[in-house]
Structure 1
Amino acid sequence: MAGEKEGIEVLPAQGPMVEIRKLSSIFNMPDRRVVIHKNLDLTVERGEVLSIVGGSGSGKTVLLRQILGLERPAAGEVRIMGQPLQNLSRRGASSRIGMLFQHGALFSAFTVLENIAFPLRELKTLPHRVVEEAAMVKLQMVGLKPGDAEKMPSELSGGMIKRAALARALIMDPPLLLLDEPTAGLDPDSSDGFVQLLRSLHRDLALTVVMVTHDLDTLFELSSRIAVLAEQRVIVTARPRDVVAFRHPFVEDFFLGERGQRAMELLREYPFAI
């Protein structure tokens, strides 16, 4: 990689996109009660790419699912664009939030185009032709070809599955996009291409993005800020350079351990990230 980059710009403040206050997540197991989050606070500003990192079992994906409304916290509040999430109808939430699941979660019996069109078709308010045309626009927006529209998920590469799933997440033109390990399972070239696609879409569509990732290259390439989950809460939310400097055992192991050295080289090469 060569040349200087501008980084991810944050839109002027218009009120937070996501506000999480005093959130607690508790799972009742047969033999014990497991507390995942306790009094967790997090704010996502409009236009930023906020990445969430944490150790295994820290509740990163659980938090994404609660923002999406797929799970309800034991206590606390999630607000989307100033509105309590529980006050949004399913249709209202789907028009505000797009979700890219870790493995794509495409319907195996649907074609690529049918998968992309599915959320819009479920509204039952638009003609079939309009839905298909909108799906084709999104298909090409994510870098797939018109000829890919009639393929089945089983015919796609890992990178193509990610792109088709991303097109489906964007079919309703949501202002908020959630990403769960977006580059997991991709080879380096596919991962780099997908990261560049996300950068372009973030800019062109004025998206706010909340991303869970353990991939440090992806993390530093895209993040406006990083939120670290540890001790059942968010222990720090800051720009990448400030998070790396934060004194905590998890932070030191995650960013400064052996596996973090290559990503730290990226930080030194592209100082916008630090």
Structure 2
Amino acid sequence: MTDSVVQVRKLWTTFKNGDKETIVHKNLDLTVRRGEVLSLVGGSGTGKTVLLRQILGLETPSKGEIIVLGKPVAELSGQGAASRVGMLFQQGALFSAFTVLENIAFPLRELKILKDDLIRETAMVKLQMVGLPPEAAGKMPSDLSGGMIKRVALARALIMDPPLLLLDEPTAGLDPESSDSFCALLRTLHQGMGLTVVMVTHDLDTIFELSSRIAVLASQKVIINDVPSQVVTLDHPFIHDFFLGARGRRAMALLPGSPPPI
């Protein structure tokens, strides 16, 4: 039986605004298997990024249980959490006053257990691992392109070699060439580091290029969590609209054995 890295059980997420209560997740179940790339997709308001942040421990569900790497997610919070779970935020979330190298090294510096020269060496290794040259180390975030910001943020997320990587819209805002290049980098790192990846994305090319399985959020729960070729066969309005339009058919050409797009 395949090990599970993330288990979400009977999860409820509700938000209150005065007397009004909105239920985002209701008895939601999700399992993420070790070594896979799982994409979370769904319409607006289905709580994809909320679920990602709950897995990271940044938000607390109203009810239910989240087990990450064999422990309740609350036990992963605080110092040392970055050694278990890495997170790439949609806009990169780099510190504007820090250089590239300082941004990458930040999680290690916070632990205060390594000497400065070792921290710098480790950060330089990660800088080159994500395809950036050594001379980029001294640049400021304001000097970087969108693709470079994503790579620096990814290097920071991986600085402590976490087994689990969470990605929020990893290719959002990138031009097609940069997006393809970033997908290729993610694929290489996933295979080379043995990562388990959970990804929220709307980009169909990214989904079909990287996903081992796709979990579709609709009706306040996960309605299917399966390989891409099976997900697209489910008779559901969101799946018809999202996957089976012209863009979806073109993207599905990436699937092994798929017919060419019409």
Equivalent residue, structure 2, for 1:54: 42
Does residue 77 (structure 1) correspond to residue 65 (structure 2)? The answer is yes
* CA separation of 1:47 and 1:55: change in aligned 2, threshold 3 A: same
Equivalent residue, structure 2, for 1:9: none
Q: 1:179 aligns with which of 167, 170, 176?
A: 167
The aligned runs of 1:1-274 (5 Å cut-off) are 13=2, 15-267=3-255
Q: CA deviation at 1:92?
A: 3.8
Letter in 1 for 2:25: H
Q: CA deviation at 1:42?
A: 0.2
Unaligned 5+ residue runs, structure 1?
1-11
Identity level (%):
69
Letter in 1 for 2:220: Q
Question: What's the CA shift string for 1:37-85, capped at 9, x where partnerless?
Answer: 0110000000000000000010000000000000000001111111111
**Bigger shift: residues 261-270 or 188-197:** 261-270
Question: What's the CA shift string for 1:96-131, capped at 9, x where partnerless?
Answer: 100000010101000000000001110011111111
Question: For residues 135 and 161 of structure 2, what CA distance do their matches in structure 1 show?
Answer: 23
Q: CA deviation at 1:172?
A: 1.0
Q: CA deviation at 1:31?
A: 4.7
Question: For residues 169 and 134 of structure 1, what CA distance do their matches in structure 2 show?
Answer: 13
1:47 is paired with a residue whose SS is coil
**Bigger shift: residues 194-203 or 86-95:** 86-95
Q: CA deviation at 1:90?
A: 1.5
Question: For residues 80 and 107 of structure 2, what CA distance do their matches in structure 1 show?
Answer: 12
Question: For residues 240 and 53 of structure 2, what CA distance do their matches in structure 1 show?
Answer: 27
Stretches of 4+ aligned residues off by more than 3 angstroms: 268-271
Letter in 2 for 1:196: A
When the two chains are superposed, the root-mean-square deviation of aligned CA atoms in Å is 1.4
Q: CA deviation at 1:95?
A: 1.2
TM superposition score normalised by structure 1: 0.92
Letter in 2 for 1:41: D
Residues 90 and 167 of structure 2 are in contact (CA less than 8 Å); yes or no, is this contact kept in structure 1?
yes
2:202 is paired with a residue whose SS is coil
Q: CA deviation at 1:138?
A: 0.3
